[in-house]
């Protein structure tokens, strides 16, 4: 094999970076060498009269609450306010094939050799190589340099399936829930696990929105981050909700979800008491939500993401409405999201898998 | 790695001897093996005496022992790599670790031997989490935990039945892959253990495993052999078959299977191209076997391995 790495395409005209912010965008300075070629979509949460300065030299569009209300009109209330869940508005207005989203307290991490990690490049590698959800490879992602499928891996499954989602991880402050933060306030993630892997079909996972990339054409409409924040009984479950819907739809359509590299450096530990207040309903609702998602089946005629998502919203109303009225509102918001998505993205064909429905 | 309080007399290390001179293998492993009881089973097809260095607490089994216990014309063949299963059969211990005789301990960044046996024991004695994927991998490892969004009712985990380790240097590739990439060596040390989720199938390599024989022992039987099975690892699939049986059993009994650490260092042996003649049969058979395992459902009444 040639010693030089094949260079990963930049995809600079095919990828948007979506950043929700309520504070400032100072963190972009550190990312400049890696992000500058790309178009940014800034979703400004909170007070729309505040001016958020974008560092010079970046190509961007910025949306505040007034813009969201103007663009979506009566559907605007499906986009959360005073919660980073508002970021999904950025996914909806993007015109690109790929999205990378990152929080404004996430910085460039270093690998064990001390080299700075280009997280975006790794996400692109993950998205451009296949996934292997039908059989677990014990050497993890077989398409990475220096590795392969192990003995016993069926040859008929070695082509893999398209990758829809690349879920990255975090060094320093780990993404713990409030109870864990309270018990272990000083724990830091210092373990660099040099692996990317496909999460097997039929397995759910907690998807964190801090360091996430996805193929918008394959799965975009499923990435609705729910009703959180102001006026809502729950927070910090936006990405979880999107992750469970996304995984069920990916499993149904035969798409892959990868997790592992890249790492970013998560610098800010949010206040665990504030977090507890936001999460506490989620912690016990979760016990109903997980069995719900685990047993969710989508009919064969759900061949596009939108159809799958609409079906999920029906099931949410039917089965979770009795857990709390919040889920009735959420189901309605999910439908509004899909309508808004289709209005803003009238491509003719709905988002679907090139080769039709999944196995 | 946290200190694991297991009694050494709960562990057997089973080695299938496919080569006669085990001296360098045993000497490399001495710092790790010396605490434990070893069961060495000589491949019944191997001629001549085994050379084993002194100072180990071990029992050696040869063809005559195998014939005496199971009869010489039994439906189970213990020849080649399958000789280790005889070791599983005669062991009375709770935890069994099995290592191929062409592996030596891996070393960490400071040149210290990695105690693979201790890591297997840690994996087997800490809970597994097969029902929901933790993105920070094994939440019971030091310095890590369950992430936000992991359901609390699933955080106590289940017992771990099987621990599958990995290989530096020569990874466990099949013959076609080895033949295509003869110089590829695995130098990536992935510092993680994870539970392989329920209903996910995986290729379990027999090169480096540990298991709780009280929980899954009976499922580890060498039933699937290629007609031209050879004496090189990539000429076999018996461990892949037993691995799939164990995974289905574990999924049914709600036990866990872990994969990842520990690593061994696996050494060179044999020509992959020569093996290609034998390998294709196994490869074709796998295509039929895998859908079977993916769809097999065990009855509710089946409550033991």
SS (H, E, C) A85-98: HHHHHHHHHCCCCE
Would you say residue B4 lies in a domain?
A: no
Per-residue pLDDT of chain B (305 residues; tens, 9 = 90+): 444 566 788 999 999 998 899 999 999 999 999 999 999 999 888 888 999 999 999 999 998 888 888 776 666 778 888 888 889 989 999 999 999 888 999 987 778 888 999 999 999 999 999 999 999 999 999 899 999 999 999 999 999 999 999 999 888 888 788 888 888 889 899 999 999 999 999 998 888 999 999 998 888 876 655 555 556 666 666 778 788 889 999 999 999 999 999 999 988 666 666 666 655 666 666 777 777 777 777 776 666 66
Q: Tokens for B83, please give them.
A: 């000789």
Q: What are phi and psi of A232, to 5 degrees?
A: -115, 150
Length of chain B (residues): 305
Q: Within its chain, how far is the Cα of A172 from the centroid?
A: 20
Cβ contact B149–A208 (<8 Å): yes
Q: Is the ipTM of this complex over 0.90?
A: yes
Q: Which residues of A touch B183 (CB under 8 A)?
A: 1
Would you say residue B235 lies in a domain?
A: yes
Interface test with A, best of B100, B129, B137, B148 (most A CBs within 10 A): B148
CB-based contact, B240 to chain A, within 8 Å = yes
CA distance B123 to B5: 13
Residue A193 is nearest to which of B192, B198, B243, comparing CB atoms? Answer: B192
Residue A151 is nearest to which of B135, B151, B173, comparing CB atoms? Answer: B173
Would you say residue B204 lies in a domain?
A: yes
Residue A151 is nearest to which of B186, B205, B290, comparing CB atoms? Answer: B205
Peptide bond into B246 cis (omega under 30): no
Would you say residue B291 lies in a domain?
A: yes
CATH number assigned to the domain with residue range A15-344, chosen from the 4 options 3.40.50, 3.90.550, 1.20.120, 3.30.40: 3.90.550
Would you say residue B302 lies in a domain?
A: no
Q: How close, in Å, is residue B289 to chain A by CA atoms?
A: 9
Beta-strand pair B256-266/B193-195: antiparallel
Q: Which residues of A touch B171 (CB under 8 A)?
A: 139, 147-148, 150
Q: Which residues of B touch A140 (CB under 8 A)?
A: 190
CA distance B251 to B220: 15
CB-based contact, A173 to chain B, within 8 Å = no
Q: Within its chain, how far is the Cα of A309 from the centroid?
A: 16
Query: Rounded to 10 degrees, what is the CA torsion of B188, B194, B198, B202?
Result: 20
Per-residue pLDDT of chain A (359 residues; tens, 9 = 90+): 344 445 787 899 999 999 999 989 999 999 999 999 999 999 999 999 999 999 999 999 999 999 999 999 999 999 999 999 999 999 999 999 999 999 999 999 999 999 999 999 999 999 999 999 999 999 999 999 999 999 889 999 999 999 999 999 999 999 999 999 999 999 999 999 999 999 999 999 999 999 999 999 999 999 999 999 989 999 999 999 999 999 999 999 999 999 999 999 999 888 999 999 999 999 989 999 999 999 999 999 999 999 999 999 999 999 999 999 999 999 999 999 999 999 999 975 445 554 444 44
Contacts by residues B56-63 (CB-CB < 8 Å, ≥ 24 positions apart):
B56/B26, B56/B30, B59/B90, B61/B86, B61/B87, B61/B90
Tell me how crowded residue A65 is: count the other CB atoms within 10 A of its CB. 20
Peptide bond into B178 cis (omega under 30): no
Residue A191 is nearest to which of B143, B153, B166, comparing CB atoms? Answer: B143
Q: In CATH, what number is assigned to the domain containing residue B206?
A: 3.90.550
Domain range holding B288? Answer: 10-295
CA distance A115 to A201: 34
Answer whether A137's CB lies under 8 Å from A150's CB: yes
Q: What are phi and psi of B113, to 5 degrees?
A: -65, 135
Q: Tokens for B214, please give them.
A: 């009280």
CB-based contact, A199 to chain B, within 8 Å = yes
Q: What is the pTM of this model?
A: 0.92
Q: Tokens for B130, please give them.
A: 């097969």
Residue B171 is nearest to which of A139, A236, A279, comparing CB atoms? Answer: A139
Window 214-233 of B: residues touching A by CB (8 A cutoff) are 233
Would you say residue B305 lies in a domain?
A: no
| pLDDT of amino acid B294 | 74
Beta bridge partners of B210: B97, B163
Cβ contact B132–A290 (<8 Å): yes
Q: Which of A239, A232, A7, A290 is nearest to A102 (CA)?
A: A239
Q: Tokens for B233, please give them.
A: 């690892």
Total domains in the fold of chain B: 1
CB-based contact, A291 to chain B, within 8 Å = no
Would you say residue B2 lies in a domain?
A: no
Window 128-147 of B: residues touching A by CB (8 A cutoff) are 132-137, 141, 143-147
CB-based contact, B192 to chain A, within 8 Å = yes
| pLDDT of amino acid A287 | 93
């Amino acid at each position: 094999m040639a010693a030089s790495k094949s260079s990963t395409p930049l995809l600079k005209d095919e990828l948007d970076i979506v950043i929700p912010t309520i504070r400032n965008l100072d963190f972009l300075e550190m990312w400049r060498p890696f992000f500058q070629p790309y178009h940014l979509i800034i979703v400004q949460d909170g007070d729309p009269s505040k001016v958020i300065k974008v560092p010079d030299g970046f190509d961007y569009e910025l949306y505040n609450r007034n813009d969201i209300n103007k663009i979506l009109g009566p559907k605007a209330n499906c986009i959360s306010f005073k919660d980073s869940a508002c970021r999904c508005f950025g996914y909806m207005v993007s015109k690109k094939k790929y999205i990378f989203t990152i929080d404004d307290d996430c910085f460039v991490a270093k690998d064990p050799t001390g080299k700075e990690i280009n997280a975006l490049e790794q996400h692109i590698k993950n998205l451009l190589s296949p996934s292997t959800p039908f059989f677990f490879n014990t050497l993890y992602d077989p398409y990475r340099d220096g590795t392969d499928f192990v003995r016993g891996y069926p040859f008929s499954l070695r082509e893999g399936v398209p990758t829809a989602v690349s879920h990255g991880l975090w060094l320093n402050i780990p993404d713990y829930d409030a109870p864990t933060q309270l018990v272990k306030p000083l724990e830091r993630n210092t373990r660099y696990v040099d692996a990317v892997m496909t999460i097997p079909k039929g397995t759910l996972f907690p998807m964190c929105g801090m360091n996430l990339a996805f193929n918008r054409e394959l799965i975009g409409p499923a990435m609705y981050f729910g009703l959180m924040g102001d006026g809502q009984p729950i927070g910090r479950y936006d990405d979880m909700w999107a992750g469970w819907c996304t995984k069920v739809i990916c499993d149904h359509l035969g798409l892959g979800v990868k997790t592992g590299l890249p790492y970013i450096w998560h610098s800010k530990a949010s206040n665990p008491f504030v977090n507890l207040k936001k999460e506490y309903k989620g912690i016990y609702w979760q016990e109903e939500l997980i069995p719900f998602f685990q047993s969710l089946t989508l009919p064969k005629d759900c061949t596009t993401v939108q159809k799958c998502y609409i079906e999920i919203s029906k099931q949410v109303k039917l089965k979770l409405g009795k857990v709390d009225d919040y889920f009735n509102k959420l189901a309605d918001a999910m439908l509004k999201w899909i309508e808004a998505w289709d209005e803003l993205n009238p491509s003719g064909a709905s988002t679907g898998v090139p080769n039709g429905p999944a196995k | 790695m946290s200190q694991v309080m297991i009694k050494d007399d709960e562990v057997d290390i089973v080695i299938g001897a496919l080569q006669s001179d085990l001296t360098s293998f045993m000497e490399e492993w001495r710092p790790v093996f010396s605490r434990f009881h070893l069961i060495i089973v000589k491949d019944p097809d191997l001629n001549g005496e085994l050379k084993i260095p002194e100072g180990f607490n071990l029992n050696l089994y040869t063809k005559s022992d195998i014939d005496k216990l199971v009869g010489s014309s039994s439906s189970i063949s213990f020849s080649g790599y399958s000789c280790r299963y005889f070791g599983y059969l005669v062991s009375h211990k709770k935890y069994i670790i099995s290592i191929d005789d062409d592996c030596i301990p891996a070393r960490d960044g400071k040149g210290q031997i990695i105690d693979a046996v201790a890591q297997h024991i840690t994996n087997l004695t800490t809970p597994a989490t097969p029902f929901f994927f933790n993105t920070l991998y094994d939440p019971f490892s030091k310095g890590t935990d369950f992430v936000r969004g992991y359901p609390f009712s699933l955080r106590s985990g289940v017992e771990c039945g099987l621990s599958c380790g990995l290989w530096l240097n020569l990874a466990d590739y099949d013959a076609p892959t080895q033949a295509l990439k003869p110089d590829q060596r695995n130098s990536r040390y992935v510092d993680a253990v994870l539970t392989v989720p329920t209903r996910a199938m995986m290729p379990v390599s027999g090169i480096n495993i540990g298991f709780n024989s009280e929980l899954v022992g009976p499922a580890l039987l060498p039933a699937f052999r290629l007609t031209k099975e050879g004496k090189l690892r990539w000429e076999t699939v018996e461990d892949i078959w037993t691995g799939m049986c164990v995974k289905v059993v574990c999924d049914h009994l709600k036990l866990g299977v872990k994969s990842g650490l520990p690593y061994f260092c696996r050494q060179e042996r044999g020509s992959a191209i020569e093996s290609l003649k034998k390998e294709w049969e196994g490869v074709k058979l796998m295509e039929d076997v895998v859908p079977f395992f993916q769809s097999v459902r065990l009855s509710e009444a089946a409550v033991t391995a």
